[in-house]
Structure 1
Amino acid sequence: MKRVKIIVGGRVQGVGFRYFVANSARAHSIKGYVQNLSDGRVEIDAEGECENIHHFSNQCKSGSAMAQVDVFLESDIPYYGFNSFRIK
């Protein structure tokens, strides 16, 4: 199992990006959350099987149809044990 913290910047608020991330997380059996940050970026805290995290991360980096991802920062963090994926 692997857990990552992802910070995404660009046009990612007000364009359905969090819902795109949540749908992708559910499709890849990812647990955690996604939330808007006050500075206009989006934070994703995600954990799951390494391969699933890899595919999920690539989808998030590509973004949704309305989003434009300009900044993508990903770092490994200690596993937590989330029960589901939610939008905050």
Structure 2
Amino acid sequence: MRRRVRVVVRGGVQGVGFRYWTADAARAAGLAGWVRNLPGGEVEAEIEGDDDAVGRLVDALRAGPPLAHVTGVHTEDVPVRGEDGFRIAP
């Protein structure tokens, strides 16, 4: 089953390679969507693909890359868009 989630990650998550790490992990898992920095210091992503793969990436975002310090992750299901590829959004 295909699923899409919006994720907002809080903590020390900007300036530590979080977006690039997320994009690499998503592409390796065959997932679609995007990731971007938010003005308030959070990282936001929409991730789409196989339900299990999406869940594994969301779980990985709870730890993040080695230099990140994640203090919170908010997720919500959003409508599937049928998107292909994963990008770093402006």
* Match of residue 37 from structure 1: 38
Aligned length: 88
1:18 aligned onto 2:19: yes
Cα RMSD of the aligned pairs, angstroms, is: 0.6
Mapping 1:3-82, distance limit 5 Å = 3-82=4-83
1:2 shift after superposition: 0.2
Q: Distance in 2 between matches of 1:7 and 1:76?
A: 12
5+ unaligned residues in a row in structure 2: which ranges? none
1:61 shift after superposition: 1.1
Q: Distance in 2 between matches of 1:56 and 1:28?
A: 8
5+ unaligned residues in a row in structure 1: which ranges? none
The amino acid that maps onto 2:32 is K
- Pick which of 3-12 and 53-62 moved more: 53-62
Return the TM-score normalized by structure 1: 0.97
Q: Percent identity?
A: 39
Q: Distance in 2 between matches of 1:50 and 1:12?
A: 25
Return the TM-score normalized by structure 2: 0.95
**Which portions of structure 1, spanning 4 or more consecutive aligned residues, are displaced by more than 3 angstroms?**
none
The amino acid that maps onto 1:78 is P
